[in-house]
């Protein structure tokens, strides 16, 4: 055991919560104003000055408080460190944000190797803070309210009674799995399907039982690291679309309550094999 194995997870949670709230305040200050928008991997993949300002704040404080930890942040790449890694999406939902659509979030997670320890997602517009610590459940707090809500995934058993969320990668025109066959299958079987534009919030909403399931291909660890832990701590299941064990470095993510997962995976398998 190294010295860093003694990490105080409650202190890490408090730190990550403060960071997410402050980064969220930065985003809110930019939201609705005139933004500098550039593109990254393709002409539909935007980054704004708000993404960069939020990430700069987060990285500055992470480096100061945990100088030996690794960081995997969307806009700045990978900083080497110990086996503790912070996964940082400074603005999840950039397309929404750039269009003035108020559905976006900050997502911060701490992992040891491939195991989630702390996950925090903050949605500034509704002032909703979702978090989880490994083994201590998943929670929601709104700052204007005093109480905490414990999160539980839904007990939906059938796609017919389920709202399912998904997303489509920015490189969907060229990727081998563009998700269209899967979308066609699920849209015909579920009660409703949503493409709301923030994977972090899709997972937080599965944890809260607002959505019954979520799947997507080719996510990056910063998109789903915090949300994955929050779903697990809310009693949910995570798998790859092949039904294999999940972690944020896998190339697909399927999330739901335990009762729905077998039929959900079966529908996705049918779509892939069609
Ligand atoms: C994107 C969102 C979107 C998902 C994309 C992500 P970004 O993240 O989470 O919902 O479908 O795959 O890349 O670019 O807004 O941080
Ligand atoms: Ca982002
Ligand atoms: Ca993202």
| Residue 2 covered by a domain | no
**Relative to the CA of 94, which ligand 1 atom is closest?**
15
Same domain for 91 and 165, yes or no, is: no
Same domain for 221 and 106, yes or no, is: no
Among residues 150, 170, 194, the one where a domain terminates is 150
93: left (phi over 0), alpha (psi -120 to 50) or beta: left
Among residues 116, 150, 184, the one where a domain terminates is 150
Residue range of the domain that includes 101: 9-150
Ligand 1 centre to CA of 165 (Å) is 13
Among 168, 177, 199, which is best to mutate for testing ligand 1, by the most ligand atoms less than 8 A from CB? 199
Ligand 1 centre to CA of 93 (Å) is 6
Among candidates 113, 79, 88, 86, which has minimal Cα distance to 2?
Answer: 113
DSSP 195-229: --S-HHHHHHHHHTTSSSEEEEES--HHHHHHHHH
Same domain for 50 and 133, yes or no, is: yes
**Relative to the CA of 198, which ligand 1 atom is closest?**
10
CA dist 241 and 265 (Å) reads 6
pLDDT digit string (tens) for 128-146?
999 999 999 999 998 778 8
pLDDT tens, residue order, the chain (274 aa): 344 467 999 999 999 999 999 999 999 999 998 999 999 888 898 899 999 999 999 999 999 999 999 999 999 878 888 899 999 999 999 999 999 999 999 999 999 999 999 999 999 999 999 999 999 999 999 877 888 999 999 999 999 999 999 999 988 888 889 999 999 999 999 999 999 999 999 999 999 999 999 999 999 999 999 999 999 999 999 999 999 999 999 999 999 999 999 999 999 999 999 8
Same domain for 110 and 164, yes or no, is: no
Q: Which ranges of the chain does DSSP label H, i.e. alpha helix?
A: 9-30, 49-65, 94-98, 180-189, 199-207, 221-233, 261-273
Same domain for 14 and 125, yes or no, is: yes
In the numeric block, which tokens belong to residue 274? Answer: 């069609």
pLDDT digit string (tens) for 142-171?
877 888 999 999 999 999 999 999 999 988
Among residues 126, 150, 174, the one where a domain terminates is 150
List the Cα angle 132/133/139 in 5-degree steps. Answer: 30
Report the domain count for the chain: 2
Ligand 1 atom 16 nearest Cα = 92
- Tell me, what CATH number does 262's domain have? 3.40.190.80
The pLDDT score that the predictor gives to residue 175 is 84
Same domain for 73 and 138, yes or no, is: yes
């Amino acid at each position: 055991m190294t010295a860093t194995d003694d990490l105080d997870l409650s202190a890490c949670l408090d730190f990550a919560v403060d960071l997410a709230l402050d980064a969220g305040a930065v985003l809110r200050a930019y939201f609705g104003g005139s933004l500098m928008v550039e593109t990254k991997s393709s002409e539909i993949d935007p980054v704004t000055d708000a993404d960069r300002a939020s990430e700069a704040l987060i990285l500055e404080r992470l480096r100061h408080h945990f100088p030996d930890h690794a960081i995997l942040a969307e806009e700045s790449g990978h900083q080497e460190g110990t086996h503790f890694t912070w996964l940082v999406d400074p603005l999840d939902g950039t397309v929404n944000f750039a269009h003035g659509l108020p559905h976006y979030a900050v997502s911060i997670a701490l992992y040891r190797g491939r195991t989630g320890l702390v996950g925090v997602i903050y949605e500034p517009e509704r002032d909703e803070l979702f978090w989880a610590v490994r083994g201590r459940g998943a929670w929601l707090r709104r700052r204007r309210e005093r109480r905490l809500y414990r999160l539980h995934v839904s007990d939906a058993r059938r796609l017919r009674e389920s709202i399912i969320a998904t997303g489509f990668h920015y490189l969907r025109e060229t990727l081998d799995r563009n998700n269209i066959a899967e979308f066609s299958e699920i849209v015909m079987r579920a009660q409703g399907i949503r493409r709301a534009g923030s994977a972090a919030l899709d997972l937080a909403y599965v944890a809260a039982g607002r959505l019954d399931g979520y799947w997507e291909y080719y996510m990056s660890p910063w998109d789903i690291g915090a949300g994955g832990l929050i779903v697990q701590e809310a009693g949910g299941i995570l798998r790859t679309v092949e039904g294999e064990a999940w972690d944020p470095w896998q190339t697909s993510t399927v999330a739901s309550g335990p009762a729905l997962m077998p039929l959900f995976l079966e529908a996705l398998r049918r779509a892939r094999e069609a």
